[in-house]
């Protein structure tokens, strides 16, 4: 069996010793094990350029170390995502690696589990598992949230998460789980509900953080801008893709009267650059006077339900920081916002503005507006067959087909650069 271990530990610790023992146990049974220590790779954060879909189909356009990493992953029988927890979520190194798995799937959509998901690029995908090292305050709820998120990621990578384990399990026991397939249902919780926020004293200023890897060119800052417009001055927006300014962002967060963090859904959670920011906030953990905190999550999937899993993590993150949780604005089908004509976005923008105005006037988000913005939460099962028929039509893929043709890559759209020779 070919096994790939992605070690997301930021520095050599006891976690590395655990991975070494696991590798020894697996090799003792004559399995071929590839261990990739992510901290040693010249990886770059995904910037949301979609070059891996529309310019060099199936391979990151930056040609960084993710090329070798993705090749090892797709050619393995089992891949283990492994990292210590940082602020309640696996390290930014592992999140960076997960984002760079995007070339392994196709931009076209299919219906899977009654939802919109991406089309597979390869006929075979590895079985998947998650290993984490707990923090001092990690509880059962944290592990449930992580299992849900990574099970969703596995689903989107055309596979299944077979377990979510901690280093409290012995390396030998984990090796047995890896080498013995465990068929069954997907491990994620079905139909998670929206998480209500609290009401605070109406803030007089708003500090907003844009987590789009595209920076000002993304869809996220468009929605955040409408929130600010409704809230009114004074409000400021910081762009988290400027990683060299992270210390300034942390200072801005610490000084904020009310903070808002927005980002696009990346592999069922936050983009790597946002996880970078979350880890930078760790010195403020539990600090008295941290601001009330709200979030915005938008995705290219038409259903809002895809974003409900990371929403639960965000609620817990606010609690870790000691911030009153104001709620999360969730919007599906957000990828086209930057190219839609005004008549198509007018209603949405007015609703987001109304949320901002309500925050300034009452100190809370209007739950009716939140529900309205999120529609469709999920598609009725009866529409599944109709959606499947639509996805077979050329019009369903015209958005990506146009970009592929512009880049002279259309004929290579189903390329499999990492297929075994």
Residue spans of the domains in the chain: they are 2-179, 206-374
State how far the Cα of 360 lies from the Cα of 354, in Å rounded to an integer. 10
Q: What is the DSSP string of 215-233?
A: GGGSSHHHHHHHHHHHH-S
Would you say the CATH fold of 206-374 matches that of 2-179?
A: yes
> Both tokens of residue 50?
């979609």
Write the CATH number of the domain with boundaries 2-179.
3.40.50.360
Q: b or e along 285-300 (b: 16 or more beta carbons within 10 Å of the residue's beta carbon)?
A: eeeeebbbbbbbbbbb
Write the CATH number of the domain with boundaries 206-374.
3.40.50.360
- Compute CA distances 48 → 67, 185, 264, 306, 330, whole Å: 16, 31, 10, 18, 19
- On whether the CB atoms of residues 257 and 204 are closer than 8 A, the answer is yes
**Counting Cβ atoms within 10 Å, is residue 420 exposed (0-12), middle (13-18) or buried (19+)?**
exposed
State how far the Cα of 213 lies from the Cα of 222, in Å rounded to an integer. 14
φ, ψ of residue 171 in degrees (nearest 5) = -55, -35
> Both tokens of residue 229?
């417009």
φ, ψ of residue 416 in degrees (nearest 5) = -125, 75
- Compute CA distances 13 → 7, 40, 288, whole Å: 11, 14, 31
- On whether the CB atoms of residues 89 and 143 are closer than 8 A, the answer is no
State how far the Cα of 146 lies from the Cα of 89, in Å rounded to an integer. 7
State how far the Cα of 147 lies from the Cα of 210, in Å rounded to an integer. 27
pLDDT score for 392: 73
pTM: 0.95
Q: Return per-residue pLDDT of the chain as tens, 421 residues.
A: 999 999 999 999 999 999 999 999 999 999 999 999 999 999 999 999 999 999 999 999 987 889 999 999 999 999 999 999 999 999 999 999 999 999 999 999 888 888 889 999 999 999 999 999 999 999 999 999 999 999 999 999 999 999 999 999 999 999 999 999 988 899 999 989 899 999 999 999 999 999 999 999 999 999 999 999 999 988 889 999 999 999 999 999 999 999 999 999 999 999 999 999 999 999 999 899 999 999 999 999 989 999 999 999 999 999 999 999 999 999 998 887 877 778 888 999 999 999 999 999 999 999 999 999 999 998 877 666 777 776 777 777 888 999 999 999 999 999 999 986 4
> Both tokens of residue 195?
């998480």
Length of the chain: 421
Closest CA to 262 of 308, 299, 309: 299
């Amino acid at each position: 069996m070919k096994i790939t271990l992605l070690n997301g530990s930021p520095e050599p610790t006891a976690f590395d010793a655990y991975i070494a023992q696991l590798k020894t146990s697996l090799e003792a049974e004559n399995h071929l094990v590839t261990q990739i220590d992510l901290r040693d790779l010249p990886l770059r954060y995904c910037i949301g350029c979609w070059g891996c879909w529309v310019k060099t189909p199936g391979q990151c356009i930056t040609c960084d170390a993710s090329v070798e990493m993705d090749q090892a992953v797709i050619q393995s029988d089992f891949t283990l995502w492994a990292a210590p927890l940082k602020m309640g979520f696996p390290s930014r190194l592992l999140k960076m690696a997960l984002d760079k798995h995007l070339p392994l799937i196709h931009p076209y959509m299919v219906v899977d589990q009654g939802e919109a998901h991406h089309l597979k690029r390869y006929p075979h995908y590895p079985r998947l598992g998650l290993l984490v090292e707990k923090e001092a305050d990690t509880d059962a709820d944290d592990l449930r949230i992580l299992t849900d998120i990574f099970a969703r990621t596995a689903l989107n990578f055309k596979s299944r998460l077979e377990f979510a384990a901690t280093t409290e399990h012995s390396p030998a026991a984990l090796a047995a789980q890896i080498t013995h397939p465990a068929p069954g249902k997907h491990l994620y919780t079905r139909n998670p509900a929206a998480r209500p926020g609290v009401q605070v004293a109406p803030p007089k200023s708003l500090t907003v953080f844009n987590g789009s890897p595209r920076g000002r060119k993304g869809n996220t800052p468009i929605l955040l801008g409408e929130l600010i417009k409704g809230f009114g001055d004074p409000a400021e927006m910081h762009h988290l893709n400027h990683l060299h300014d992270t210390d300034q962002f942390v200072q801005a967060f610490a000084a904020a009267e009310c903070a808002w963090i927005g980002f696009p859904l990346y592999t069922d959670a936050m983009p790597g650059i946002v996880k970078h920011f979350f880890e930078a906030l760790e010195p403020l953990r539990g600090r008295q006077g941290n601001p009330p905190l709200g979030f915005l999550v938008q995705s290219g999937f038409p259903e809002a339900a895809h974003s409900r899993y990371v929403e639960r993590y965000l609620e817990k993150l606010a609690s870790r920081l000691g911030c009153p949780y104001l709620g999360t604005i969730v919007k599906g089908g957000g990828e086209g916002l930057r190219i839609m004509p005004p008549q198509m976005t007018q209603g949405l923008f007015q609703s987001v503005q109304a949320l901002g105005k309500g925050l300034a006037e009452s100190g809370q988000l209007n739950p009716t507006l939140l529900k309205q913005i999120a529609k469709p939460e999920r598609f009725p099962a009866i529409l599944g067959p109709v959606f499947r028929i639509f996805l077979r039509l050329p019009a369903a893929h015209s958005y990506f087909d146009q970009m592929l043709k512009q880049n002279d890559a259309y004929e290579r759209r189903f390329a499999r650069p990492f297929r075994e020779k």
